[in-house]
Amino acid sequence: MDINYKEPAPITDRENPFESMMERFELAARILGLEDGAYQYLKNPTKQIITAIPIQMDDGKIKVFEGYRVIHNDVLGPSKGGLRFAPDVNLDEMKALAAWMTWKCAVVNIPFGGAKGGIVCDPDKLSLGELERLTRRFTANLLDVFGPERDIPAPDMNTNEQIMAWIMDTYSMHMKAAARAVVTGKPLILGGSLGRREATGRGVYIVTLAALRKRNMDPSRSSVVVQGFGNVGSVSADMLFKSGMKVLAIGDINGSIFSSRGLNIPDVMEYFNKNKVLTGFPESETISHEDLLEVKCDVLVPAAKEDQITKNNADKIRCKIVVEGANGPTSAKADPILQEKGILVVPDILANAGGVTVSYFEWVQDRMGYFWSIDKVNTRLERMMLEAFDNVFFHAERYKQTLRLGAYLLAIDKVAKTLKLRGIYA
């Protein structure tokens, strides 16, 4: 069915994260034969907030920061998405990440829509007091947006449990009630969930082993390279190492290391915690960020930032499976190159959905006031990730598409059908 959509998605820069997301969305929409009205509804964010955040700095001067919150869609339920603090935060990035959250929640079958937020700042240059004032004022500016049944922030780049605690407290003070479910990723003592910190990395580990099984590959005879050694990368590397995989190389923004014999990840983590860098780890050699991605291996896990595998380096990738631990690590122009090379790509909206899944668990526990054991959290996470993996594979095979398109087809079909059932309020 060939549909000529009115006002097609504005695909002008394929390396832009938002445009990469939109290119894949448009392709999936055409395969599904999505009605034009649903297409128009789902391509556009429901709400885009740009807010000025004035705070008094420690020296007494007033400085104004810019903050964003993009709600892409709330058809399946309250919107859900992280909040990042970084100098390069921009609206296009927020729009792409919010849309990915919509599709991610649909893929793992949780009742959330997608959102993302951020503040343009360098948190390393802010004192703890300035960071707190910035967070609280941003929260106050968005009191009519946030809410346990409206929009639920979570930690992301350069934000953590403490940031979430400040958001929860600020919101609660204005509501005059303890609103634990307004954020996830909180400290345990404030209603956080066991297993939340490791959840994204654990999800990457679960789907990596599932992908190896699909390819009839034994983990104990397989090798892996992990780009990124933050929360996601370090947990993924550690769990994959303990599963028997040989970790050939790992890296972060400050440097990458390689060993043909394999790296002992618990020792690497101890070294990193002591020295704050990976380079210099005994019996390893330093390699460039570019070389890290091009190491010959069975599995490559890009768990850093967007657009790490692009049209410029995709033909140099030498692995059998890519498992996307980061959001949008592969640009749209790189997809056909990887496909032509026969590389199986487990897409981000499936591979790194462990974090939002356990965030959902945290929200559920907060709302019922009863908290689960770590075994129950991990068991339920594994079940939901494997169900999502099988559903994505089913849709990919049904439509004879890649896993990425299979995930988009699954997600968009679910959201579109829900939209049709709910209808449009007028």
Long-range contacts of 275-284 (CB under 8 A, 24+ apart): 278/229, 278/250, 278/251, 278/252, 278/254, 279/254, 279/255, 281/257, 283/259, 284/257, 284/258, 284/259
Transcribe 180-220 into DSSP letters.
Answer: GGG-SS--GGGT--TTTTTHHHHHHHHHHHHHHHHTT--GG
Catalytic residue, chosen from 80, 95, 104, 116, is 116
Encoded tokens for 61: 């001067």
Alpha-helical (H) ranges within 278-369 are 289-293, 335-340, 348-351, 354-368
The distance in angstroms from the start CA to the end CA of the chain is: 30
Write the single-letter amino acid at 2. Answer: D
Please tell me what DSSP assigns to residue 254: T
Instruction: Determine whether 116 is an active site residue.
Output: yes
Q: How far is CA 290 from CA 256, 281, 314, in A?
A: 10, 19, 11
According to the 3-state scheme, what is the secondary structure of 370-414?
CCCCHHHHHHHHHHHHHHHHHHHHHHHHHCCCCHHHHHHHHHHHH
The tokens 């356990």 sit on which residue?
A: 358
Sorted by sequence, the CB contacts under 8 Å of residue 213 that are 6+ apart come out as none
Residue with tokens 């104990």: 220
**Rounded distance, CA 420 to CA 39, Å?**
12
Among all chains, which residue has been given the structure tokens 């700042």? 121
Catalytic residues: 116
